[in-house]
A and B are shown apart, each in its own frame.
Chain A
Amino acid sequence: MPDELREGVPQDAWERAQLARAQKGDAQAFGDVLKRYQTRIYSLVRRLVARPAEAQELTQEVFLQAFKSQARFDPNRPFRPWLYRIAVNVCQNHRRHASRRELAQPPLDHLTPLWGALPATPEQAAVHQDDAQRLETYLLRLKPSDRELLLLRFWEELDYAELVRIYHLPQTVLKMRVHRALNTLRQWVEGGRS
């Protein structure tokens, strides 16, 4: 696989070139760009729904919607918020249709794969893993919409301009929601420690 196809390699020039080719009808170029985001989108969706199979279905739906909407994508605008907007829409639709009970109490198997790859020295591993596990547990207690926003802001590191494109909400509203969710999480972690 060429270097530029590796995930996580920020090569915006490559992405722009691929999207320009996609505009001319090269479906493979568009698929290559989507593939670059595959694990990121899946990881996000996986943290928003209860079961891995469900996450795979929804992620596939995100890419299907992306293929369908490809003609409407404006190449002069950034691609990442456009794709994440689709992901957020798919997840919101899913939440509307899923039962409230299922969302409120995801099964415990949801937690197990999520804290496998945290970096830690052998001495600090226990403490680090404990903190990470606690964080994942508290994340699950957040409302899915708040969880989604925090993950986009601090895990995906999207800036507020990108979040505005995704949510179509004013920056002030988004900042307020992010800070409120972050503060809730912070207080839970503090409460859990003391």
Chain B
Amino acid sequence: MTLSKQDERLLLRALDGLATPAERAMLEARASDDPKLDRAWQDAQRLLQHLNQLPTLVPAADLVAQAWVDYQKPREARRIWPWLLVPVAAGLAILGTWLGFDTAEAPVVLTVARPALPRPALLTARGPVWLTTAAGHHEAMPGAAVGSGDMLATAAAAEATLQLAYASVTLTEHSALQLDELSERLPKVTLNKGVVQITVQEAQPTPVLEVHLNGLKEHVFIQTGAVGIVQPQVGVATVACLTGHVRVVIGTQSLQVEAGQEITLRSAQTPKLGPSAPNLTLVVEALGKPAHDGRLTLRGHTQPGVELRVGSVLVPVATDGSFVYVWRPEPTERTVLLAARDALNRRQQRQASWPAPSRASPKVAPGETEWEWAPKVPG
């Protein structure tokens, strides 16, 4: 079906919304006389409608947030590179002395500006992260500036990292962190619930963060390294030190927690150091027999925020620590291994087993004879 050049031009201009009313009227008049043109016009309109209605496709991840993280990387590198000049200058000075130059008479003056400290801001946000400020409550995006008095909270399966002057604070899911005072010298935050991990970029001569634990009178000074703080319930908290050291202050008493150690803090009313943190809870509550279709239901509980695997499958844990897993094991399988791991890398394992399914008697169709096999008795 070939249109004349004039009809084709008219049709394309009309499709593109460029035709004048007179041109459009001409096209419609010609189409009413020419079935070929009419068909082409109808088809072209339908084509444009389909083109306009192509579905929107949703990416599997938050690409803006990932781009923000990528954008931050070279900025951090730019902040670090001036410091690299210090050893270079020192090397030059030593070399100059070794070669016999009198550096005192011909001083090389090298001024290295202290890199600007990053402003407190949300560095990454995975899943719903909420920021409450004086202005209101809204979902926080990476790059969001935060200030004293704000509160950050993470929803289920979410994680957020807050960049402070010398440390970053990562909140795992279902955590809430009150930003009491974000001074450059010693920011103060209160962990209302959940788990945070604090990482200090480089060792500092003085503490860089003061963490208060809701429901406890103690507070924790963070000076170096990475620290995980677990607060499973109000009144009890666990502080684990992964690298460096942490100073915990209780009234006038001060205790240093070294790398690899953890302590449990108990009770708001009578602050005292508790024993070492308890083991990770992992309890299998119920595991019945396989159902008629071979499926098996496993119930149990552990601690919130724990990564739980049953066999090789990652099983979600509810906010109260409970979990349910339904699967169809192989006919020969009788046991399964449960492995739990928390944010402090504490691990716990349990093995659950179930009896073999009872052998169902074969169904006999009407009219058929059921045979019973009996062993032959000798003699």
Contacts and interface: CB of A to CB of B under 8 A. Distances in A.
A24 B229 CA distance: 36
A140 B143 CA distance: 38
A194 interface: yes
A151 B59 CA distance: 18
Interface stretch (A9-17, A71-79, A95-103, A181-189): A181-189
Contact of B55 (A1, A8, A118): A118
A52 B55 CA distance: 15
A60 B144 contact: no
The listed residue with most B CB atoms (<10 A of its CB), out of A115, A119, A154, A185, is A154
B240 interface: no
Contact of B43 (A42, A117, A193): A193
Nearest to B48: A154
Given A38-B64, A179-B12, A31 B143 contact: yes
Contact of A190 (B1, B48, B50, B61): B1
B59 A59 contact: yes
Closest 3 CB pairs of A and B: A27-B143, A63-B67, A117-B55
A46 interface: yes
A42 B139 contact: no
A58 to B, nearest CB: 10
B306 interface: no
A59 B63 contact: yes
Given A39-B58, A114-B57, A115-B55, A64 B71 contact: yes
Contacts of B52: 154-155, 157
B144 A27 contact: yes
A194 B1 contact: yes
B12 A60 contact: no
B70 A60 contact: yes
Nearest to A5: B139
A178 interface: yes
Interface residues of B, number: 44
Interface residues of A, number: 59
Contact of B50 (A64, A131, A153): A131
Interface string B127-142: 0000000000011111
Given A35-B64, A38-B63, 11 more contacts: A26-B145, A27-B68, A28-B144, A31-B64, A31-B144, A43-B54, A64-B70, A179-B13, A186-B40, A190-B40, A194-B1
B57 A135 contact: no
Contacts, number: 135
B15 A182 contact: yes
A27 B145 contact: yes
Contacts of A28: 122, 140-145
Contacts of A190: 1, 40, 43
B44 A40 contact: no
A84 interface: no
A32 B145 CA distance: 13
A121 to B, nearest CB: 14
Nearest to B72: A67
8 contacts: A8-B56, A26-B145, A32-B141, A38-B62, A135-B47, A154-B51, A175-B18, A179-B16
Contacts of B144: 27-28, 31
Interface in A102-131: 113-119, 131
Contacts of A189: 43, 47
